[in-house]
A and B are shown apart, each in its own frame.
Chain A
Amino acid sequence: MTTDLFQYTVWIPILVFLSFLIVGLSGDKLSNKLAGSISTATISIGMILSYYTAYEYFLVHGNINGVYETLLPFNMEWLSFSDTLSINMGIYLDPISVMMLVVVTTISTMVHIYSFGYMEGEEGFNRFYSFLSLFSFSMLGLVVATNIFQMYVFWELVGVSSFLLIGYYYYKDSAVSASKKAFIVTRFADFFFLVGILILGYYTGTFDFIELTDSAGSAIGSFAGVSFLGIGALTWALTLIFIGGAGKSAMFPLHIWLPDAMEGPTPVSALIHAATMVVAGVYLVARLFVMFVLGSPEALEVVMWVGALSALFAALIAITQTDIKRVLAFSTMSQIGYMMLALGVSGYGGEDGLGYTASMFHLFTHAMFKALLFLGAGSIIHAVHSNEMGDMGNLRKHLPITHATFLIAALAISGIPVFSGFFSKDEILAAAYASNKIVFFIGWAVAGLTAFYMFRLYYSIFWNGEKAYEHTPHEAGPSMTFPLMFLAFMAAVAGFIPFSEFVSPDGLPYHAHFHWNIAIPSVLIAVAGIWVATMMYKNPSSKPDGVMAKIPLFYKWSHRKFYMDEVWVFFVHKIIFKLVAWPIAWFDKKVVDGSFDGMAWVTNKVSDKIKGFQSGQLQQYAVTMVMGLLGFALTLLYWMSK
């Protein structure tokens, strides 16, 4: 059986989990080097195993009769509720989970290696590595989830490790509040996810992905005729689940946690908030894609519009941000919007499934170049000790490797031909063009904006005149430069992977051909964006200020992120706190506490009174006893005489 061949895959998450236990439980007993080495070694083994799995799956065994089978090499009953309802834990292998295994382990390994240099000498080095292992384990568990409940469990674990890592500098107030914000916002979204899961489980009677996403199966049909508020139950379930995914993937309007999450160490931003965790929402939608596309096109339309809106919105904000990590954060949000958009415009089967393929393709390439951008930013921050663009300039002289790799990544994300981003973005736009012209134009515009803000960032950092540095910035050691180079290589060549041969909604490979009519305008607008950025930012000039002065309102709104934080604060404080929380608190304080206080008060008073009987006065006792006896005798006599 092919299934048996893949049984070793269960060791990928388990090994990483063991590393978390060893490093986490030993505390400071292990030396930093040893702790880091254990973590890095386990994730590296995971990476090798993942590559081997991908090779075996895609090229040797997986393709049976032209279809990529879904394999369950490991599946055990974890929680048994009743004869019909139990929750399993297992390994689920299909094209996208194998691809995600590769992405997660690759980026995670690179980040592990990178952190050796970046986190050197930091307090809590071992803690950092144990959290990294926990995160990697959770993420691996998430991608190989066999059922939606397992996915939910690991989904929350991922959220916890994200919380822990954002709050890594727990002595900084900003980091603490950022971690809280990230946790609460994503948890808020996860509430909807859970409700969606329950609706889904209620109607279909199963949580297993195999049954849920069986295009010929009964799961989708089990919703027929059930509706609520005029909208079908399946649409409700999928939309609620999508809200959970949107929370994790920082889609508008639940994106507010992502920029603040940049308070975490930069390698963490690269791993969690750029490459892996934030695409979990995309992965979730892709995982349930069959349900979306066959069962509820309405929900898929929601996905599309949320994706398109987020992509545009984030790109507009990214233009004016000055903190380099925040620019990258908004860029991440924008690119994930792209992936959502691609899923939203996708159809099922053959060429129609291009959007799905493109989304996964973009997920893959984006993970590479965005992780590279973040690690590059980390390298820059490491060198100049600042996040602000204004403190940087002319760094290409000081940081040649970072410069080269960053440029590759910037070209890739801008969609310049040959680099990986070009291919995936081209497929997305082609899919959008075939499905919805408005969405296509949004995507097209975002491509230009992306090129513009990426090169604004690039020029501000690496050109634009020398700045006064405390000490001359210099390139970090090989542990930091090796991951940069590796990822740069991936970012450059990943686009040549024929993704449509491997990933499609129905598992049937097809051949995606190149769309010249899409590629030319998208390259043109990208080049235009780069050209404008070159004009404005290559050399120090007053041009940016001049442009800024012409569009003050836009600049201000964009710089303040369109006041989304303020809107949420208003919503939370004025509406949730005042209208919901306050009455609940009042009820809790006055009625619940009050009744318990009342009980205590009554007990107190009664005991006060009863205490009087226990006076220590012998004669009172005697009187009481005599009276009691008399009463007893009288009662007895009365009763006997009847």
Chain B
Amino acid sequence: MEKFIFYFLAAAIIGFSVMTVTTRKILHAAVYLLFVLVATAFLYFLLNYNFLGAVQLTVYSGGIVILIVFAVLLTARVDQLLENVPLLKNIIAACASLLGAVITLYAFFTFQWQGSGIPEGAYDVEEIGLKLVSYGDGGYVLPFEVISILLLAAMIGAIMVAKNFRTDD
């Protein structure tokens, strides 16, 4: 059953990814991206990483895609079509991507993955929260704080950049 769900999700992710970059309607692209992200969230649920799946849903699907949709609406008409990709460029990009995928997969498949073999620990929200703010061994307080500062800076920066300054020129 899980196997079947995985194949379904994998097919959805790949299919919607391709549609995201190939559709000529930008709003459709945003919706396809949303589907990709939701499918990814379900993949996390499938792996029993519930908190991560929830974050993926809220931040990615809920936040970022909505932001993108707003941007689309602010900068383009809804019915506007994206330009056709020139054939040569298309072929080159496709070949490069394909080649890259082949190389990467070749590398993955020839590599012998060695796991630690130790059984899984607790992954509930309490454990994650404690890990995030602990500064002992295996604690993540430093990246956590760095990310918080980064988010603050990004917020201020985004406001400064997007704010409509009156320029007298």
A576 at the interface (CB under 8 A from B): no
Q: Are A634 and B96 in contact (CB under 8 A)?
A: no
Q: Are A627 and B96 in contact (CB under 8 A)?
A: yes
Can you list 16 contacts pairing A with B, beta carbon distance less than 8 Å? Answer: A623-B92, A623-B93, A623-B96, A626-B96, A626-B100, A627-B96, A629-B100, A630-B96, A630-B99, A630-B100, A630-B103, A633-B103, A633-B107, A634-B103, A637-B103, A637-B106
Tell me the minimal C-beta distance from B117 to chain A in angstroms: 26
Complex Cα gap A629–B93 (Å): 14
Residues of A within 8 A of B92 (CB): 623
The closest CB in chain A to the CB of B92 belongs to A623
Contact bitstring B95-119, A, C-beta under 8 A = 1, else 0: 0100110011011000000000000
Which 5 pairs from chain A and chain B are nearest by CB?
A: A633-B103, A630-B100, A626-B96, A630-B99, A634-B103
Residues of B within 8 A of A629 (CB): 100
Q: How many B residues touch A, CB cutoff 8 Å?
A: 9
The closest CB in chain A to the CB of B107 belongs to A637
Complex Cα gap A202–B52 (Å): 91
Instruction: Name 17 extra pairs, CB < 8 A, besides A630-B100, A637-B106.
Output: A623-B92, A623-B93, A623-B96, A626-B96, A626-B100, A627-B96, A629-B100, A630-B96, A630-B99, A630-B103, A633-B100, A633-B103, A633-B104, A633-B107, A634-B103, A637-B103, A637-B107
Residues of A within 8 A of B104 (CB): 633
* A interface majority secondary structure: helix
Residues of B within 8 A of A626 (CB): 96, 100
Complex Cα gap A626–B96 (Å): 8
Complex Cα gap A633–B101 (Å): 11
Tell me the minimal C-beta distance from A639 to chain B in angstroms: 13
Tell me the minimal C-beta distance from B109 to chain A in angstroms: 12
Residues of A within 8 A of B103 (CB): 630, 633-634, 637
Interface positions, chain A 274-325, Cβ under 8 Å from B, are none
Complex Cα gap A192–B104 (Å): 78
Complex Cα gap A623–B99 (Å): 13
Tell me the minimal C-beta distance from B16 to chain A in angstroms: 22
Tell me the minimal C-beta distance from B39 to chain A in angstroms: 25
The closest CB in chain B to the CB of A626 belongs to B96
Complex Cα gap A637–B103 (Å): 9
Tell me the minimal C-beta distance from B92 to chain A in angstroms: 8
Residues of A within 8 A of B106 (CB): 637
Residues of B within 8 A of A637 (CB): 103, 106-107
Interface positions, chain B 70-91, Cβ under 8 Å from A, are none
Residues of A within 8 A of B100 (CB): 626, 629-630, 633
Interface positions, chain A 613-636, Cβ under 8 Å from B, are 623, 626-627, 629-630, 633-634
Residues of A within 8 A of B99 (CB): 630
Tell me the minimal C-beta distance from B85 to chain A in angstroms: 11
Complex Cα gap A147–B103 (Å): 82
Tell me the minimal C-beta distance from B152 to chain A in angstroms: 27
